[in-house]
Amino acid sequence: MSKTLPPKPRRLKGGDGALSAAAIASGVRSGEASAEEIVRGRLDAIRKDDPTIKAFLAVFEDGALEAARAVDRKRREGGKLGRLAGVPVALKDNLLVTGTISTCGSRILENYRSPYDATVVGLLKSEDAVIIGKTNLDEFAMGSSTENSSFFPTQNPWAPGHVPGGSSGGSAAAVAAGFAPVSLGSDTGGSIRQPAALCGIVGLKPTYGLVSRYGLVAFASSLDQIGPFSRTVEDSALLLDVIAAKDPRDSTSKAAPRNGGYAEGIETGVKGLRIGLPRQYFEAQGSDPEVVSSVRESIRALEAAGAVVAEASLPHTDYAVSTYYLIAPAEASSNLARFDGVRYGLSEKNAPDLGALYEESRGVGFGAEVKRRIMLGTYALSAGYHDAYYEKANRVRTLIRRDFEEAFKSFDLLAAPTSPVPAFKMGERMKDPLSMYLADILTIPANLAGIPGISVPSGLTSKGLPVGLQLLAPAFAEKTLLRAAFALESMRPFPRLGSRD
Amino acid sequence: MSSISPEEVAKIAKLARLKLSQDEIALYQRQMSRILDSMAKLRQLDTQAVPPTASVPWIEPSPREDEPAAFSNASALVALAPEREGPYFKVRKVIE
């Protein structure tokens, strides 16, 4: 028995939506904060504001409180707490959590109860994170606005009536609105970076292979990557530390060379760092001049801090959208063949025979954009068109990859806008699929090349809409990305929402 | 020049195992034609000497023994089946 009383702990306010994951974890570990109070605070915020924002498809009120109490109990009993102790995490609804529904934003999976945890979910739980709910997305992650969700659209917390971006729009909106300090999304053509930009937060797409996709519902397997959303650069580093791991259950996962944690050396600064500005990214079709000028201003700040900035060129940029919209739908048409109405998911049981069961279940279960992409992909892979479309796209993919290899001979990083435009109005691009596809013009090339990218807040437009700056790095150079992003954050403090309360 | 006909759209839908309404066929015919037209620009590039990329170069196949292992939650898998009999998935007649 201890004779002296412990000092009265300074309590971190559970209701403070501005607390970072790093602050929560250290507070919970030291006993300054209770995980239950933290989680209760976020659940209250969700209950109050999510009926307007609609970031969540499901909120795990009971499960989250129970998990939080278990974390507090573990601390009281002297157990060693993990790196995300008591941190509320929101997950895109294409990541499986045992025993809970994972809809993927689709009617076809409306009642799908996950029989296992995604690898990333297991890793979060093992570090004592608290999963608070599942977030909205474009159906099967196909879209750039979250309007393709089969359930409802999500509002941009900065501007009602505007989209949060997509496809991980719910995960981005949840963090921007202060419902959770961090969340996970997936990025196949920009689905983490673009909504991060439109919602004024940090979003990181890791190198292809760095994070296991086991338990992520597959969209386009040669492109999909899971990554974090956060309000601070340090929190994205912390999340990446937890989720980056080689996994025998994903044959494309790779053990990455890592010198210490991703947050280590994050404050080193950008002195001497060579940053290239890809000319084509600043001249993209439909670019908003306010986006370009905000990004240029941020780059001047990096230059003033010692970065060596020069123009770069990625000559095949203009071909990336076409290349992507052949490869991704082709892979999707194959991946989504598993939805057959037999093993799980929506089933049109009155269909007269097996063929009709397949066609009717899929015809009813999939939404318009998913069907459109399955059709495009089937076409691109079909006899007579395979060489002209799919094979051709894979060859152009090599040229796009080589553009980056060439650029990274002269530069450590590339910097550009994340999205050519800020958040657009709901409905604005829904009538014309091609205009929606062009929203990804600046994020798609990194997926085709497999390299990592991060979007960090650069500023606000005159209408108060967030602008994102994108940094791209060679494969496995996440530490350089995070270092430059951190430098920018220190020089141009990110504007925030949800820190009122 | 890439435009596709309603018949082609119907054929693709059949291959993709998708039941589409006449309205959907008309819509996808218009939209796919426009999307495929925009992709014609890829033909400007001479790629004869360029090898295709199927995946990024740092991912090497890592073969392993094919050893069966027990899945701890097998009953939850079967419970997802729309039609089942005991521990089995019930499937329509495949061969006439």
Q: Is the pLDDT of residue A3 over 90?
A: no
- Would the pLDDT of A5 be above 60? no
CB A417 within 8 A of CB A467: yes
Is the CB of B42 inside 8 Å of chain A's CB atoms?
A: yes
Tell me the per-residue pLDDT of A146-176, one tens digit each, with 9 for 90 and over. 999 999 999 999 999 999 999 999 999 999 9
Nearest CA in chain A to B74: A115
Beta-carbon separation of B52 and A397 below 8 A? yes
DSSP run (H or E) holding A133: strand A130-135
Quick one: which of B37, B50, B85 has its CA closest to A393? Answer: B50
User: In the structure encoding, which two tokens stand for residue A352, read together?
Assistant: 């007269």
Q: What pLDDT, on the 0 to 100 scale, is given for residue B94?
A: 86
Give the distance from residue A207's alpha carbon to the nearest chain B alpha carbon, in angstroms: 10
Helix and strand element counts for chain B (H, E):
3, 2
Q: Which single residue is written with the structure tokens 């992003």?
A: A485
Alpha-carbon span A56 to A174, nearest angstrom: 8
Please give, rounded to a whole number of angstroms, the shortest distance from the CA of B5 to a CA of chain A: 12
How high is the mean pLDDT of chain B? Answer: 91
**Confidence tier at A15 by pLDDT (50, 70, 90):** low
Helices (H), A264-336: 279-282, 289-304, 320-335
Q: What does the pLDDT read at residue A11?
A: 53
Residue B4 to chain A, least CA–CA distance (Å): 10
Which residues 6+ apart lie within 8 Å of B58 measured at CB?
A: A209, A254, A450, A475, A476
Minimum CA–CA partner of A446 in chain B: B56
In chain A, count H helices and then E strands: 16, 11
B86–chain A Cβ distance below 8 A for any pair: no
CA distance A429 to A128: 41
Q: Tell me how close the Cα of B25 comes to any Cα of chain A, in angstroms.
A: 10
B65 touches chain A (CB under 8 A): no
Contact of B10 with chain A, judged by CB distance below 8 Å, is answered with no
Q: From the list A347, A378, A448, which residue is nearest B15 (CB)? A: A378
Q: Which residue from A208, A378, A399 is facing B12, i.e. has the nearest CB?
A: A378
Does the pLDDT at position A364 exceed 70?
Answer: yes
B43–A contact, CB cutoff 8 A = yes
Note the pLDDT of residue A9. Answer: 42
B93/A contact by beta carbon, under 8 A: yes
Distance to chain A for B3, nearest Cα, Å = 12
pLDDT range class, residue A256, cuts 50, 70, 90: confident
In this structure, the dihedral spanned by the alpha carbons of residues A4, A8, A9 and A15, taken in order and rounded to 10 degrees, is 150
Render pLDDT for A466-498 as a digit per residue (tens, 0 to 9). Answer: 999 999 999 999 999 999 999 999 998 887 875
Q: Look at residues A274, A210, A267, A277 and name the one whose alpha carbon lies nearest to residue A482.
A: A267
Residues in CB range of A124: below 8 A, 6 or more apart: A84, A89, A131, A184, A242, A243
Q: Is the peptide bond before A114 cis (omega within 30 degrees of 0)?
A: no
What is the predicted pLDDT for the residue at B3? 81
Show the domains of chain A with their CATH numbers.
21-323+390-491 (3.90.1300.10)
Q: What is the pLDDT of residue B2?
A: 60
Q: Which of A109, A349, A379 to mutate to test the interface with B (most CBs of B within 10 A)?
A: A379
B91·A342 Cβ contact <8 A: yes
What is the predicted pLDDT for the residue at A402?
98
Instruction: Tell me which residue has tokens 């419902």.
Output: A179
pLDDT in tens, A106-121: 999 999 999 999 999 9
**Alpha carbons B20 and A469: distance in angstroms, whole number:** 41
Nearest to B45 among A319, A372, A389 (CB): A319
Measured between CB atoms, does B9 come within 8 Å of chain A?
Answer: yes
Show residues of chain A in contact with B96, CB under 8 Å.
Answer: none
Contact A191, A168 (CB under 8 A): yes
DSSP, res A388: I
* Cβ pair A187, A216 in contact under 8 A: no
Q: Is B82 on the interface with A (CB under 8 A)?
A: yes
> ipTM score of the complex?
0.95
Residue holding tokens 């020089």?
A491
Least confident piece of the model among A116-125, A135-144, A255-264:
A255-264
**pLDDT value at position A260?**
78
How far apart, in Å, do the first and last CA atoms of chain A sit? 40
How many Å apart are CA A148 and CA A263, to the nearest integer? 35
- Full set of structural domains in chain B with CATH: 6-44 (1.10.20)
Does the distance separating the beta carbons of B28 and A371 come in below 8 Å?
A: yes
CB A471 within 8 A of CB A453: yes
Distance CA A34, CA B66 (A): 46
Please tell me the distance from the alpha carbon of residue A307 to that of residue A300, in angstroms, as a whole number: 9
Two structure tokens written together for A324? 């992507």
**Which residues, in sequence order, are CB contacts of A446 under 8 Å at separation 6+?**
A205, A404, A452, A453, A472
Partner A contacted by B61 (CB < 8 A): yes
Set of chain A residues whose Cβ sits within 8 Å of the Cβ of B9: 375
Mean pLDDT of chain A: 94
Shortest CB distance from A343 goes to which of B20, B73, B89? Answer: B89
What does the alpha-carbon distance between residue A135 and residue A339 come to, in Å, rounded to a whole number?
A: 22
Q: In angstroms, rounded to a whole number, what is the distance separating the alpha carbons of residues A118 and A139? A: 19
Residue A6 has pLDDT above 70, yes or no: no
